[in-house]
Amino acid sequence: RSHPPVAAMLALPFLPFSLFLGSLGSLCVAFVTLWCHHWRGGFSWDGTTTTFNWHPVLMVTGMVVTYGAAALVYRSPPAWRGPKFPWKVLHGSLALVALGLTVLGLLAVFSFHNTQGTPNLYSLHSWLGLLTVLLFSCQWVFGFSSFLLPWAPTWLRGFYKPIHVFFGSLILLLAVASCLSGINEKLFFSLKNGTMQYKFLPPEALFANTLGLLILLFGVLVVGALARPSWKRPEGDCPETQQ
């Protein structure tokens, strides 16, 4: 009996799965960079359209790919052995890098809007994206306070851990939804007025739609890996290994 593609990927051992997922994440970053470079005019930081182009690149790289890597740190078999603290630091550091890239992505779009006189935060995409970033910021602060600072009591860590895990998956799904809505919005705005309209599927539309499918597949695979029981780190009795 054949398995659906996503189920077949999740049936792989973690190492080949992680290699595939890393390649898929790199492909997402390459696609969004090529889209903005080839069809949208490249990159700058002068408030023009090419300043805006940093926004999709940084958001896909930060909120989807880097954040996805951070979420899967504890699913790596080497993380199951020995003290948990170094893996906590790696998890938090990757999440902080993702947050930093996200902030730069927001600065790019706000700079573009303010220079062009375009209102900020009027679209569903912008509302969804802002909600995602706010939740992500709270997630990082609460996670750092609960799991990395030594004064957090054990009962608090035990209480907050399932909440942290739930919101980790939720934030990634919101990030994917934000990216997909942003790609669609950009295509609707761009493919008109002298260019072939979006509904006629010019090469840019096909390329950007494919980018959206790659981002969706990446997000689904990460959430599926997080939910797979056999890849969860066994919790020992030693306090040093506890969350």
The one-character DSSP state at 235 is: P
pLDDT at position 240: 42
User: How far, CA to CA in Å, does 190 sit from each of 39, 151, 182, 186, 218?
Assistant: 10, 52, 12, 6, 26
Q: Are 94 and 100 in contact (CB under 8 A)?
A: no
- Whether the predicted pLDDT of 242 surpasses 70: no
Residue 237 has pLDDT above 60, yes or no: no
Q: What is the pLDDT of residues 149-197, one digit of tens each?
A: 888 899 999 999 999 999 999 999 999 999 999 999 999 999 987 778 9
Predicted confidence (pLDDT) at residue 88 exceeds the cutoff of 90 = yes
Residues whose CB is less than 8 angstroms from the CB of residue 230 and which lie 6 or more positions away in sequence, other chains included:
none
User: Which domains does the chain possess?
Assistant: 27-229 (1.20.120.1770)
pLDDT tens profile 24-53: 999 999 999 999 999 999 999 999 999 999
Q: Is this structure's pTM higher than 0.75?
A: yes
List % helix, strand, coil for the chain (3-state, nearest 5): 80, 0, 20
Question: pLDDT category, 112, cuts 50, 70, 90?
Answer: very high
The band of 236, judged by pLDDT with boundaries at 50, 70 and 90, is low
pLDDT in tens, 123-160: 999 999 999 999 999 999 999 999 998 888 999 999 99
Q: Is the Cβ–Cβ distance between 130 and 109 less than 8 Å? A: no
